[in-house]
Structure formats: structure tokens, C-alpha cells
């Protein structure tokens, strides 16, 4: 069983503040690390797919970094807005294209 | 493209009944995944297919669960007989794996309630 852990499980952020959270995954047999954004009553939508150690991706105010040697990725939200409230999922891609998800970090941005 | 299409959106059934969930992946995608989402376990991978062939079904809970992909545009997940603990949201997702950079595209899910 692949261990993909996300922390914290949930966090509250004041509107305008920046925040970040972690995904940890096995450092061996790595193919890719995915980040998804999952709004209530919708289905998960892809944010980033990262494959190389040291990768940094950015989409608007959201960015992510990747360290495959130590097995972690950070997701950053700069200047949080209420519309950023969602659950953020990471998924570890291993051999055979198997994708294992973490438990998610639920972000609530307070106006 | 219409995206990944799942049906039904909601299913309520009684314990012991057979339940069939359906999925139409995005045209041209060669991987199809079935996930189950519960409060306790998050998104669990049940089974996935590549070019209609099951690759890994180690996540299928028990023999009551079965999945098929008879062609590139259709897959089913069947539970027979269903039990209350099967109540969850079941997601289907597809992807195109010509490169390592392809994300999953999820359907809207089927919310199953077994009473």
C-alpha cells in the first residue's frame, strides 16, 4: 500500500493571507505528482502535474514545488480569496500509471 | 468534448440488490479509473484499465465488486449483492497517457446509498 499523506487535514485562512500545505509520498518508484482542486458538490479538477525534482508550477495565485528525493511537495496559495475554498488533493503516480491519492487538505478562506 | 460521463448521478437501493454504475470516458483516452470516496478513507482506487484491459484491481474490496470495460467508450462497476457499507460516491476518471504529464479527468460521480 502506497503511503501518500497530506497535512494539515484542514486549515482556515483569512482573506488576503497566504498559506501552504504539504503532500508527502514515497521517494522511490516516482513517476509524477499530481495536484487537484476539489470544490464541494463538484468533481476534482487538475491543477498541476509535476515530474521532475525541483519542478515549480504556477497557476495564478497558486503554485507548487516538488522534491522527489525526500518525497514531498508544497502547494502555496498567495493572497487567499474566498473562491480558493476547496479541498486540495495530491496524487502519487507510480509504475503502470497507478495514481494513489492523499486524504486532502480542506482550505476555508474567511472573508 | 462532453467530458467523462457517469450514470446514474444518484442511486438508492436496498441491501442485497444488484447495483450497476456506468462510465463513458473521454474519447481517445486510454486509461480509465474507478475510485470510491468515503469520509473515512478519502479517494480509494478500486480498479483501473489500460486499453480496456484491467491492470490493477487490488483495490476492489471483495468479490461482490466487479468491473468491466467491453470497449474503449464504456465501463461498468457492479456490486452484487450491495450492502449498507458500500454507500459512497463512486468516481470514474480517464486520462491519455502518451506522456507522463497527463492529468485525470473526473466524471461527476455517482452517489450510492444502500439502505
Q: What is the DSSP string of chain A?
A: ----EEE-SEEEEETT--EEEEEE--SSS--EEEEEEE-TTS--EEEEEE-STT-EEEETTEEEEEETTTTEEEEEESS--GGG-EEEEEEEEEGGGEEEE---EEEEEE-
Which cell numbers in the block locate residue A44?
Answer: 476534482
Question: Across the interface, do B103 and A49 touch by the CB < 8 Å criterion?
Answer: yes
Tell me: pLDDT of B101 over 80: no
Q: How far apart are CA B23 and CA B92, in angstroms?
A: 6
Instruction: Give residue A1's pLDDT.
Output: 64
Q: How far apart are CA A49 and CA B49, in angstroms?
A: 20
Range B2-6 average pLDDT: 93
Nearest CA-CA distance, residue A99 and chain B, Å: 8
Question: Across the interface, do B101 and A43 touch by the CB < 8 Å criterion?
Answer: no
Average pLDDT, chain B: 94
The CA-based diameter of chain B, rounded to the nearest angstrom, is 43
Which cell numbers in the block locate residue A11?
Answer: 486549515
Instruction: Give residue B1's pLDDT.
Output: 65
Share of chain A above pLDDT 70, in %: 99
Share of chain B above pLDDT 90, in %: 85
Question: Across the interface, do A43 and B35 touch by the CB < 8 Å criterion?
Answer: no
Tell me: pLDDT of B100 over 80: no
Tell me: pLDDT of B59 over 70: yes
Which cell numbers in the block locate residue B91?
Answer: 468516481
pLDDT in tens, B34-47: 999 988 888 999 99
Element (H, E) at B71: strand B65-71
Q: Which of B31, B104, B108 is opposite residue A46, by nearest beta carbon?
A: B104
Share of chain A above pLDDT 90, in %: 84
Nearest CA-CA distance, residue B93 and chain A, Å: 10
Contacts of B55 in chain A (CB under 8 A): 96-98
Q: Do the Cβ atoms of A89 and A42 come closer than 8 Å?
A: no
Range B51-79 average pLDDT: 95
pLDDT in tens, A17-61: 999 999 999 988 899 999 999 998 899 999 999 999 999 999 999
- A37 shares contact with chain B (CB less than 8 Å): no
Q: How far apart are CA A35 and CA A21, in angstroms?
A: 12
Q: Do the Cβ atoms of A65 and A90 come closer than 8 Å?
A: no
Q: How far apart are CA A52 and CA A30, in angstroms?
A: 10
**Strand A62-67, strand A56-59: pairing:** antiparallel
Nearest CA-CA distance, residue A32 and chain B, Å: 7
Tell me B25's DSSP state: P
Tell me: pLDDT of B97 over 90: no
Specify the 3-state DSSP secondary structure of B85. helix
Amino acid at each position: 500500500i502506497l503511503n501518500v499523506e497530506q497535512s494539515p487535514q484542514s486549515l482556515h485562512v483569512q482573506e488576503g493571507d497566504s498559506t501552504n500545505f504539504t503532500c508527502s509520498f514515497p521517494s522511490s518508484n516516482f513517476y509524477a505528482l499530481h495536484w487537484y482542486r476539489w470544490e464541494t458538490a463538484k468533481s476534482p479538477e487538475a491543477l498541476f502535474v509535476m515530474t521532475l525534482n525541483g519542478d515549480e508550477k504556477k497557476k495564478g495565485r497558486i503554485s507548487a514545488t516538488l522534491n522527489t528525493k525526500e518525497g514531498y511537495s508544497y502547494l502555496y496559495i498567495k493572497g487567499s480569496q474566498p473562491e480558493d475554498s476547496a479541498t486540495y488533493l495530491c496524487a502519487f503516480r507510480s509504475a503502470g500509471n497507478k495514481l494513489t491519492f492523499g486524504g486532502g487538505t480542506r482550505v476555508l478562506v474567511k472573508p | 468534448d462532453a467530458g467523462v460521463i457517469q450514470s446514474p448521478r444518484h442511486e438508492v437501493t436496498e441491501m442485497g440488490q444488484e447495483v450497476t454504475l456506468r462510465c463513458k470516458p473521454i474519447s481517445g483516452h486510454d486509461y480509465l479509473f474507478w475510485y470510491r470516496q468515503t469520509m473515512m478513507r478519502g479517494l480509494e482506487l478500486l480498479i483501473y484499465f489500460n486499453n480496456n484491459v484491467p491492470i490493477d484491481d487490488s483495490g476492489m474490496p471483495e468479490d461482490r465488486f466487479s468491473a468491466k470495460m467491453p470497449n474503449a467508450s464504456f465501463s461498468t462497476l457492479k456490486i452484487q449483492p450491495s450492502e449498507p457499507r458500500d454507500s459512497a460516491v463512486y468516481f470514474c476518471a480517464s486520462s491519455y497517457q502518451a506522456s507522463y504529464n497527463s492529468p485525470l479527468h473526473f466524471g461527476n460521480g455517482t452517489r450510492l446509498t444502500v439502505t
